[in-house]
Amino acid sequence: MRPSWESLAERFPGNYTILLALMLAFILIPPFFEANAEHNSIIIPLLLSLVLLGTLKVFTRNRRELTIGLALALPALIGRWAIMITGNRALLIIFSIAWVLFLALAVTFIVHSVLTARRITYDTISGALCGYLLFGLMCSFIFVLIEMFYPGSYQSSTITLKFSGHPGEIHQQIITFIYFSLVTLASVGFGDIIPTSPPARAVAAVEGIAGQFYIAVLIARLVSLHSSRWGGE
């Protein structure tokens, strides 16, 4: 019996699975090049751009979503590479705002897609993980904006969290805020970075609570769909 086109398609990585692989590469690869600022100044923007393009690929369901996604993605992509050259503070603010808006739209789209899915595939599970990680990435840029407008909002005994005009240092600071956001989202809270200003504390608290609710709601939904599928068979 020849396999159907649908079964063949499920054997290849879907959009969410590809995006998940890009997200994991962006999180795991740059720290191993931290000692080499020159390489990291290229690797970080490159991987972040690939994450953006991979995220944009999930907006292909209809033209309206794709148009909105492109309108938000272009400033984020251009700003990312402009910062690499200039390290301009105003560009960093514009770039961060563009990323927050783009990722907010992406998370909303992905969560809606997962919650309304009628059957569970590996790509659906990858989509749920992508929504979780992208929400953490979105919050990291909110933390960047808080530090830009409220300097000294975060304290650490091991690293400096102030933004300078040097592009290489900006890349490292963004990676640091992504780390802080992800451990906050997972409610790990190592304590090596502490939010001190009221806005920073408020956003960190909301992110931690949202992370727990996200896992609870998504896991419940996926288990429910999986159970109903097998129960029907």
Q: What is the pLDDT of residue 228?
A: 61
Contact present, 46 and 18 (Cβ < 8 Å): no
User: pLDDT of 149-189, one tens digit each?
Assistant: 888 889 887 766 766 656 567 777 888 899 999 999 998 87
Where do we find the tokens 């989509």?
A: 127
Residue 87 backbone class (left: φ over 0; alpha: ψ -120 to 50; beta: rest): left
Q: Half-sphere exposure (CA, 13 Å, Cβ side) for 155?
A: 5
* 208 has pLDDT over 90: yes
Task: Tell me which amino acid residue 63 is.
Answer: R
- Burial (CB count within 10 angstroms: exposed 0-12, middle 13-18, buried 19+), residue 222: middle
Task: Enumerate the domain spans of the chain.
Answer: 5-232
pLDDT of 119-144, one tens digit each?
A: 777 888 888 899 999 999 999 999 99
CATH code that applies to domain 5-232: 1.10.287.70
What's the CA angle centered on 68, arms 147 and 214, to 5 degrees?
A: 60
Q: Which two tokens stand for residue 199?
A: 């806005």
Q: Which long-range contacts (CB under 8 A, 24 or more apart) does 83-87 make?
A: 83/45, 83/167, 83/170, 84/41, 84/42, 84/45, 84/167, 84/171, 85/167, 86/167, 87/164, 87/165, 87/166, 87/167, 87/170
pLDDT for 42 equals 74
Encode pLDDT of 4-48 as tens digits.
Answer: 434 444 455 688 899 999 999 988 887 777 666 555 567 777 888
156 SS3 class: strand
